[in-house]
Structure 1
Amino acid sequence: MALLLGVDTGGTYTDAVIIRDERDVIASAKALTTRQDLAIGVGGAVQAVLAQSGIAAGDIALASLSTTLATNALVEGQGGRVALIYIGFRESDLEKHGLLDALKGDPSVVLDGGHNHAGGEAAPLDENGLRAFLAAHGAGVGGFAVASQFATRNPAHELRAMALVAEITGRPVSASHQLSAKLNGPKRAMTAVLNARLIGMIDRLIGRAEDTLSDLGVTAPLMVVRGDGALISSAQARERPIETILSGPAASIVGARWMTGADLALVSDIGGTTTDVALLKDGRPAIDPAGARVGPYRTMVEAVAMRTTGLGGDSEVHFLTEGLHGGVVLGPRRVLPISLVAVDAPEVVHRALDSQLRSTLPSEHDGRFVRAVAGQTMEGIGTREQALLDRIGDAVHPLGDVLRSRIEHGALKRLIERGLVQVAGVTPSDASHVLGTAEAWDAEAAEKALTLFGRRRTGSGDRLANDPAMMAKIIVDQLEQQTALALLETAFAEEEVGYGLEPDVLARHVLMQRGLGGHSELVRLETGLAVPVIGLGASAGTYYPAVGTRLGCEMILPEHAGVANAIGAVVGRVTMREVGTVTSPSEGKFRVHLTEGPQDFGNEDEALASLETVLRKRALSAAQAAGAEDIQISVTQDVRTAHVESRDVFVEAEITVEASGRPRVAS
């Protein structure tokens, strides 16, 4: 009998499950995610599930972790401070391809160097410029990203830059050719920047999780879920944390299939920060060929084809000032629910809310609080940010008591983006406490905060809501509406029929929305989803039945929907893919592009065989390092030719080797 432990760290809750022989869930538990030290939440969930099951920690044969930490960080614009070394490209590429937005003011340098499409050096690497940049910025960042032109054809300049970074700064470095074998330098650069930004965060999570499991007596090896649903070792995840984006959502897809056996369905997982929607077809999730998209960023990471929206139980509620009737919109940023922060600091929160309710001069900061997040790295923060942090200290404060001038709003925003500060405000979780569909936290504080929110005046001069229950209903209705739109957008994106409009436009189109309401006058319109929806997440049972009604579809809510991610974390397989390319720079010459540099052959078959041998060895070694056993290897070749003067001429070939097996369990 094998006992498997699955853990998922979400934005609000950390879940744990124990599964016996990959067949039965014998126990599940939740604990609050503790951002200041994620190990506290992990330990709480694991202790609870062990106690519930009566199983000794030493009997666990395999532990696996999925996490939305990387996804949430990118959606919310958080992470460590990094620097980009951009070799062989133009300065204008930084803005053109969105790299400046991704850097968020972090330093970058554009240097001479790089290679051509055949792997030949286009220009010598500007080492003097690189050394000067490292000397100037090495102490002010947590890591470096390196991207060189055509590095997947010849990584020599990236390798040299990595060596200099290590020699001069000692900081971790993410090289684009190690994260993707595909062309498209700017996109590889984006992937390297995001990887560098996540390294410290994911490293701390995995390290603390391993320490916590060890302290509890769990001696089994720890696996981590990758963005495509496959499992990797904790060491591999620490080196390439970017591969854990969409880890939690991918695990939820694996868990949904395991729980329901569904072959065709939309899977929608609502967490505290995001709603993730994917299509399950023939029992399998599709892999996004263009690379994972999270928030505004498109990466080159292989991941489940999924639409991630900044919409969850802890999404910030914004007041809409346009129009006569007013309204609200949710997300994309997560805030601490008032009902939750009131549990941590009841006297501060209730005293402030009571004072604000008595005031006849409403403030934009009413019902909002702020606190610092301990244990975060502080590289590169400015004097204004440091002064604000010092003022906040280690206590919870009403936001209006901390911000003393308009200029400090920018400092607060930067601290939030760095993950150094959390803001509390009104969320759907608070609305659920007011309506009685949730009761974990402080419902009285939620009522006061929603009363304050409802006092805002619409364009007609009326209050947005006359009482907290009415305000709560407005918020929940909006959550259901935005969830329905997210599902429709995914469905339209997956449709093979072209409509000539983008999925988000189609989902919001007046005919689509009228059809959902059953419009029937001179024209009868009926629209909706034609496939079932599997609703996952702790709050799915609260919100999703109404979403199914809106969309006219079957809503499946599995028994263990609230811990689907933790289930998927431990029932997946180890899968390692290695991809390589053969080109023909001139007639009769076949060039194999390897990490060590290009190698030339005089025969096509020899070149392909040599590349396949190298890729097989790498994929097998990576799968073994991840802890796989009974490994199976599959090979696919994509050889592209051109028909010239009545004969086929070799142009390029791509070989993909996949090594897959179940993770080895401890005896």
Structure 2
Amino acid sequence: MASPLLLGIDTGGTYTDAVLFREDEGVIAKAKSLTTRHDLSEGISGAVEAVLARSGIPAAEIAMVSLSTTLATNALVEGQGGRAALVMIGFGPEDIARGGLSEALGTDPVIFLPGGHDVHGNETPLEMTMLEEALPTLGPKVSSFAVAGYFAVRNPAHEISVRDRIRELSHKPVTCSHELSSKLGGPRRALTTLLNARLVSIIDRLIGSTEDFLEKSGIHAPLMVVRGDGALMSAGEARLRPIETILSGPAASLVGARYLTGLDEAVVSDIGGTTTDVAIIQGGKPKLALDGANVGGHKTMVEAVALRTFGLGGDSEVHIDDRGLEAKITLGPRRILPLSLLVATYGDSVLSAIDMQLRATHTGRHDGRFAVRIALNEALVGSLQPQEQALLARIGSAPVALNALLTMNSQKSVLDRLVGRGLVYLSGITPSDALHVLGRQGQWNADAARLGLQLAARKKTGAGREIATSPEDLAGKIVARLTRQSSEILLSACLAEDGAESVNPSVSLAVDRALKRVPGIARFSISLDRPLVGLGASAPVYYPAIADMLGAESIIPSDADVANAIGAVVGHIRVTATVTITSPEEGVYIVTGAGETTTIIGEASALEAAEERAVIAARRKAGQEEAQGILISIEKEIMAPEVEGGRKLVEARIVATATGRPRMAHPQS
């Protein structure tokens, strides 16, 4: 009997991938479709319908669907997401400056409430008057709330009370910090919670679109989502904890890379439309960042694969600095719609607008740049400032040239805020357009790419020379810049793994000489000690040159373009439950976590009770995920130093981990 038929889907910033897979056969069929952010179900249906057509297998035979996505990652890198209010219980304004919370908070509102608990779970009285006074005016201005309480991991009662009150008065989504992490460190936990709240609407829309399509297609199978550590979680849990899906797509790619190559040691680099993700396979396993994922400059408490994500991809914004004697090209970190894709999607009206700009006697400040309105999110629109609403109203369903849209300098920052809120796309030239000009890609409109690069090439440097002699010349410079910038970020990631973060490849003269292979009496060279595995649809185009620059062996698997979707279906469910023991006085032990706080006499009894509670909680969590064949493992971290000649337990953490395979649906006849 054949193994169950599995469907893997990856919704990335540019493409949605789908694979059909059996454990005993491998990849049966694969397909791609453009990701449609205005209605994600369109991209999902396009990829899945194509892969089913290629395989000739009825949809009803699919036993499990697993989804990986870069949407949450991209949102953090690009600064997108809903506006969230942060409620801090027992913290003060000075705590905002810690753990990167102030930078993450930006202009979003924060409310400080008296309350919280101490290290043993004892409370300071909670006072919600300020919250209740603020909610009537604050509620309509935000799309969600984040609640973080002092020592909430030891006693979440105050977070739960505040959460319930917010839901009662505002009916908005609320995230509590104790639901996301069991670790101490209030400001970082608050940051993680804030980011989770911002991502709720993004992931909810993705999962809802997927579920709608599966239902219409007759696919009645469990839907799983890949977490940032490569494990699987149910769709329902992903809706509540979308922050755990950051690095989901890259994590799935890493799992897929291991499956496709069988390598025990490798550097894996996955280039997408928006980001490049770099990770290490060591000892046959993905290396984990146990201290928390760092994405978009935010150091979260989300356990994930040790990926470093950079805002560099095939659709990265091309910046041309023409103020010096020589033009300087840099890429990213923002993703924009390639002109070739814009014209392929919206037709010849955009092509005509570009042609008119080319025929103009004077270059425009925003030549080759367009704005496109995304399908409205009423909750986000309602929270906009008047000037933001006014500018958004001028952007219709068809692309608008920025030269016509931006009549005042101040409107540029307003437009950037609309882009950051996920309400508007920008379009312009990208590395993907450069490849179309060079004939190395051809899926979109090459004429638009050529005209766009021709416009950009007309810019003049401080010396009065045009920055490029032709579209092909400029395209070559853009691709060369992507090769160099990719090499720098790969080196940066590898040096950081080696503990040499102080070396910055982008400014190091030694690294520059090594990458350029500059001859000299003193020669510098750089090489990697393991192969470079390139993933992504454009990997065969970019990575041979990148690997050559880095002195590494280049490996590009045959299914490198869908490694993320493959990784999505070969993972397991993995959940944890943490119980903590503290001792406020000799012989008395407080057990917190995974249930009510209890006081137990005797260390041995407390440890036994804590382990039992952790196992029960982990098994219950795995059962909620409908995991099959559950296995439990226990880890104990006991801090018990010698104090005045005697052993003193300061803290013990008991972590139970439950693993299992996802539930499979029975194929329908």
1:407 Cα deviation after fit: 2.1
**CA distance 1:525–1:410, change in 2 (3 Å):** closer
Tell me the secondary structure at the aligned position of residue 301 of structure 1. coil
Query: Is 1:614 aligned to residue 613 of structure 2?
Result: yes
Tell me the secondary structure at the aligned position of residue 208 of structure 1. helix
Aligned partner letter, 1:227: G
1:178 Cα deviation after fit: 0.9
Aligned partner letter, 1:502: S
Distance in 2 between the 1:413 and 1:22 partners?
A: 49
Tell me the secondary structure at the aligned position of residue 482 of structure 1. helix
Q: 2:158 is matched with which residue?
A: 157
Q: 1:129 is matched with which residue?
A: 130
1:280-330 deviation line (CA, Å, top 9, x unaligned): 001111211220111111110111111000000000000124542112100
The answer for unaligned runs of 5 or more in structure 2 is none
1:346-375 deviation line (CA, Å, top 9, x unaligned): 222111111111122212210001110004
Q: 2:54 is matched with which residue?
A: 52
Distance in 2 between the 1:322 and 1:481 partners?
A: 22
Pairwise CA RMSD:
1.4
1:261 Cα deviation after fit: 0.5
Aligned partner letter, 1:417: G
* 8 Å Cα contact 2:100-2:188 kept in structure 1: no
Aligned partner letter, 2:342: V
Aligned pairs (5 A) from 1:500-579:
501-503=501-503, 505-506=504-505, 508-579=507-578
Query: Is 1:311 aligned to residue 312 of structure 2?
Result: yes
* 8 Å Cα contact 2:16-2:35 kept in structure 1: yes
Q: 1:451 is matched with which residue?
A: 454
Q: 1:652 is matched with which residue?
A: 651
Query: Is 1:203 aligned to residue 200 of structure 2?
Result: no
Q: Deviation above 3 Å: which 4+ runs of structure 1?
A: 95-98, 516-520
Q: 2:259 is matched with which residue?
A: 258
1:140 Cα deviation after fit: 1.8
Distance in 2 between the 1:569 and 1:514 partners?
A: 40
Tell me the secondary structure at the aligned position of residue 171 of structure 1. coil
1:529-576 deviation line (CA, Å, top 9, x unaligned): 121011000000111110011011001000000000000011111111
Tell me the secondary structure at the aligned position of residue 304 of structure 2. coil
Distance in 2 between the 1:538 and 1:196 partners?
A: 32
Equivalent in 31, 36, 39 of residue 38 of structure 2: 36
Tell me which moved more, 104-113 or 71-80: 104-113
Distance in 2 between the 1:387 and 1:629 partners?
A: 53
Q: 2:586 is matched with which residue?
A: 587
Distance in 2 between the 1:348 and 1:75 partners?
A: 31
Q: 1:467 is matched with which residue?
A: 470
Query: Is 1:389 aligned to residue 392 of structure 2?
Result: yes
**CA distance 1:595–1:127, change in 2 (3 Å):** farther
* 8 Å Cα contact 2:31-2:47 kept in structure 1: yes
Q: 1:336 is matched with which residue?
A: 337
Aligned partner letter, 1:445: A
1:208-265 deviation line (CA, Å, top 9, x unaligned): 1011011111111111000000011111111100000000000000000010101000
1:507 Cα deviation after fit: 6.1
* 8 Å Cα contact 1:575-1:659 kept in structure 2: yes
Aligned partner letter, 2:254: I
Equivalent in 428, 453, 471 of residue 431 of structure 2: 428
1:569-627 deviation line (CA, Å, top 9, x unaligned): 11111111122211111221111112554211111122222222222122112222223
* 8 Å Cα contact 2:505-2:512 kept in structure 1: no
Q: 2:214 is matched with which residue?
A: 213
Query: Is 1:634 aligned to residue 633 of structure 2?
Result: yes
Tell me which moved more, 145-154 or 249-258: 145-154
Aligned pairs (5 A) from 1:82-121:
82-121=84-123
Aligned pairs (5 A) from 1:110-509:
110-121=112-123, 123-321=124-322, 323-377=324-378, 378-495=381-498, 498-499=499-500, 501-503=501-503, 505-506=504-505, 508-509=507-508
Tell me the secondary structure at the aligned position of residue 84 of structure 1. strand
1:269 Cα deviation after fit: 0.4
1:632-653 deviation line (CA, Å, top 9, x unaligned): 1100101111112222211111
Tell me which moved more, 601-610 or 464-473: 601-610
Tell me which moved more, 359-368 or 4-13: 359-368
Tell me the secondary structure at the aligned position of residue 650 of structure 2. strand
* 8 Å Cα contact 1:155-1:596 kept in structure 2: no
The answer for unaligned runs of 5 or more in structure 1 is none
Distance in 1 between the 2:461 and 2:549 partners?
A: 27
Distance in 1 between the 2:323 and 2:309 partners?
A: 27
TM-score normalised to structure 2 length: 0.97
* 8 Å Cα contact 1:628-1:660 kept in structure 2: yes
1:17-69 deviation line (CA, Å, top 9, x unaligned): 00123541110000000000111000000000000010100011111000001
Tell me the secondary structure at the aligned position of residue 392 of structure 1. coil
Tell me the secondary structure at the aligned position of residue 332 of structure 2. strand
1:510 Cα deviation after fit: 1.5
1:520 Cα deviation after fit: 4.3
Aligned partner letter, 1:193: L
TM-score normalised to structure 1 length: 0.97
1:96 Cα deviation after fit: 4.3
* 8 Å Cα contact 1:154-1:595 kept in structure 2: no
Distance in 2 between the 1:258 and 1:357 partners?
A: 49
1:394-422 deviation line (CA, Å, top 9, x unaligned): 11111111122222222211111110000
* 8 Å Cα contact 1:142-1:379 kept in structure 2: no
Identity percentage over the alignment? 50
Distance in 2 between the 1:153 and 1:324 partners?
A: 60
* 8 Å Cα contact 1:37-1:375 kept in structure 2: no
1:664 Cα deviation after fit: 2.1
* 8 Å Cα contact 1:81-1:379 kept in structure 2: no
Tell me which moved more, 401-410 or 182-191: 401-410
Distance in 1 between the 2:287 and 2:92 partners?
A: 35
**CA distance 1:446–1:168, change in 2 (3 Å):** same
* 8 Å Cα contact 2:318-2:431 kept in structure 1: yes
Tell me which moved more, 599-608 or 8-17: 599-608
1:197 Cα deviation after fit: 0.4
Tell me the secondary structure at the aligned position of residue 660 of structure 1. strand
Distance in 1 between the 2:8 and 2:551 partners?
A: 34
Distance in 1 between the 2:364 and 2:195 partners?
A: 37
1:14 Cα deviation after fit: 0.1
Distance in 2 between the 1:293 and 1:630 partners?
A: 33
1:84-110 deviation line (CA, Å, top 9, x unaligned): 001111213224443333233221112
* 8 Å Cα contact 1:371-1:423 kept in structure 2: yes
**CA distance 1:23–1:282, change in 2 (3 Å):** farther
Distance in 2 between the 1:208 and 1:626 partners?
A: 21
**CA distance 1:612–1:321, change in 2 (3 Å):** farther
Distance in 2 between the 1:210 and 1:374 partners?
A: 20
Tell me which moved more, 506-515 or 186-195: 506-515
Distance in 1 between the 2:405 and 2:520 partners?
A: 56
Aligned partner letter, 2:502: E
Tell me the secondary structure at the aligned position of residue 577 of structure 1. strand
Equivalent in 72, 75, 80 of residue 73 of structure 1: 75
